[in-house]
Structure 1
């Protein structure tokens, strides 16, 4: 830290001492000015003179008042202004006490707003100049009287400039702090969104494949003794489902790796192009599924395509877990205007026909995915039994105002 910086730190830590030093300096200048006077009006020759005792007393009082200029700037200005008026009217016509009033006016201007500076500055200048012109021993047009106007204007202008600079620096500092807080909040928001997305993917992958493994393992255990060939086939489906689960988990968890990790997954996210493959995994588990599509040729954004796939996957997983062993599922993907509609129906009559009654995160995850792409989701029991999942997703990404980007 440089000497100047250390001095600034010490000055901020001891403002009263700084004001005391300033008051001593102002007093010295006023006393020095009171000992000289011009010999002739049209020359610059100067001679020593004896200062008036009353003027010396007023100088000391005015300088002493400046020690408290930060604590009560208006009061100090009123006191120094009063001392200046008294000196101008009764003392020898040099008016050195006005220097303390100028310093006090500077303090008021640097600590208040501009309108207050204008009002107080005009009032101070008018009172000091008017008193010197009207009641002073010199003619009203004397340069000593007019000099008060100049010095008062300099004090007010300098104080206003200092105040403006402080306000400007403070505004820059606050703007920088606000920008830093905004960046931190945005970073936290993005981290939270990424965690939520990864949690949804993990839930969808684990719930789907574990449900299939559970069903096939139950089938294998049931037919192991009487039909070992069928049990072998069921175990093969268990192995395939577990392998698929591991692959998808590896791809999802790979998102948590560092950006420079060479083992980061490069496989694209699943979409509706893998719908037949998805339905096949459930059919292998013994579930009856019918798929109807009238969206051929529709190109979906990656986020919408992934959301559609995951919604169907979660809905069929719920059918597998909740609708009963003999339930039939119907999946339809239809293009309707600017949207694509996903519908999954089942006629299950299981005891837990409502997937939302289990306290899981399946329906919540579907709703979050649909909301993320600005779509709508409707779920609920069907009349006569079963459950219905209906999602409407936009074919194109939309801006926050709901309009298609140009």
Structure 2
């Protein structure tokens, strides 16, 4: 209920100022009347002076500093014309509180000190001596309390605003991070599905062409091609099932997981391309070492995509695959002797060149995810060349493939 009333008053500052003025008068009137009676001062003058001191409070929100000056002027007049009414500085204290809430700390304390000094000087002029020392100390304490309470309210409001801003900023950051992760996951899924589908469909298409060509002249070899189509399609379905299963049960630690392909499966991959008509030679250098999973998968997929592109765009041409195992990196080069495609080279960090397609983009993204680089482009002597260098130590900030 109190919070609702505060919210309602904050939305209506003029009404809040009027309520503050009336509340100040209502709470101070009994004290002012008692003080006037004790000092044998006119009751009407004391109550009237208090009311006059409370009137400027209706502008305390819009003009806090002039409000302090107006209430202070009324207090000075009360002190000089009447006996010192102890309740009269309360309106000035309320005005000082409003100044402290709406200005900076230094200015608030400066105004509070000036108000206390004016009231003390006026009181000393009116009644010299130390008889009213406790009243003087009460005036100083009242002004200090008003400034301190207003400063505390201002600091609390500032902290609340700052906390709200941090919460909103954190919420926006979480939303941006969530969108970024969704985008990365979408790209990862797209790469996996593209690599699986494009590779096997290319092989099925090539083997179907061989079967069609040999169906009448060499039925035995055509039958073998059909068997390879069957095996390739079954392998494609198995890899699709594995990929979809990993996506579906990725967050379930109890879900079954199948090993992702790596260079350990490279011989089977090369054999499938040899059956499709590619004349493959493999050159290995260096001493093979155990690769990080992200690097192993990236190496396998890059070779797979490079050979798929060669079979799709260049046909059954000679292809050389070179694997150079170095202490700090794995270098992979895939070169073919096919016709030079009218496309520019693509390197790490550059935009995809015309004609490269999603496969080239996926290879570059996989190399980046593994912390490596990839360059691709036509060879001066004809054909196409893809070269990638994958480090053996992965930066932990690198995104998942």
TM-score normalised by the chain length of structure 2: 0.88
Distance in 1 separating the partners of 2:261 and 2:201: 18
Distance 1:299 1:261 in 2: 27
Structure 1: 5+ residue stretches without partners: 40-45, 402-406
Pick from 61, 82, 88: which aligns with 1:91? Answer: 82
1:10-34 Cα deviation digits (max 9, x unpaired): 4444443343233122213443233
1:79 aligns with 2:70: yes
Q: Tell me if the contact between 1:329 and 1:345 (Cα under 8 Å) persists in the aligned partners.
A: yes
- Displacement of 1:383 in angstroms is 1.2
Q: Distance in 1 between matches of 2:74 and 2:391?
A: 80
Which of 15, 23, 36 is the aligned partner of 1:17?
15
Are the structure 2 counterparts of residues 152 and 141 from structure 1 closer, same or farther at C-alpha, using a change threshold of 3 Å?
A: farther
Contact 1:37–1:47 (CA<8 Å) still a contact in 2? Answer: yes
SS in structure 1 of the partner of residue 97 of structure 2? helix
Q: Is the 8 A contact 2:210 2:222 kept in 1?
A: yes
RMSD of aligned C-alpha atoms?
2.7
CA contact (8 A) 2:343 2:356 kept: no
Cα 1:350–1:239 change in 2 (3 A) is farther
Corresponding residue of 2:29 = 31
2:149 paired with 1:151: no
Which of the residues 322, 328, 349 maps onto 1:332?
A: 322
Q: Does 1:391 align with 2:388?
A: yes
Using the alignment, how far apart are the partners of 1:172 and 1:145 within structure 2?
Answer: 40
User: Pick from 164, 179, 186: which aligns with 1:195?
Assistant: 186
CA distance in 2, matches of 1:261, 1:38: 81
Q: Any conservation in 1 of the 2:41–2:82 contact (CA below 8 Å)?
A: no
Distance 1:168 1:214 in 2: 67
Does residue 287 in structure 1 map to residue 278 in structure 2?
Answer: yes
Size of the alignment, in residue pairs?
390
**Aligned partners of 1:36 and 1:49 also within 8 Å:** no
CA distance in 2, matches of 1:269, 1:259: 13
**Structural mapping, 1:1-400, within 5 Å:** 3-37=1-35, 46=38, 49-51=41-43, 53=45, 55-94=46-85, 96-133=87-124, 135-139=125-129, 142-143=132-133, 144-257=135-248, 266-325=257-316, 327-349=317-339, 357-400=354-397
In structure 1, distance between residues paired with 2:277 and 2:318 = 10
Which piece of structure 1 moves more, 136-145 or 181-190? 136-145
8 Å CA contact 1:66–1:76 kept in 2: the answer is yes
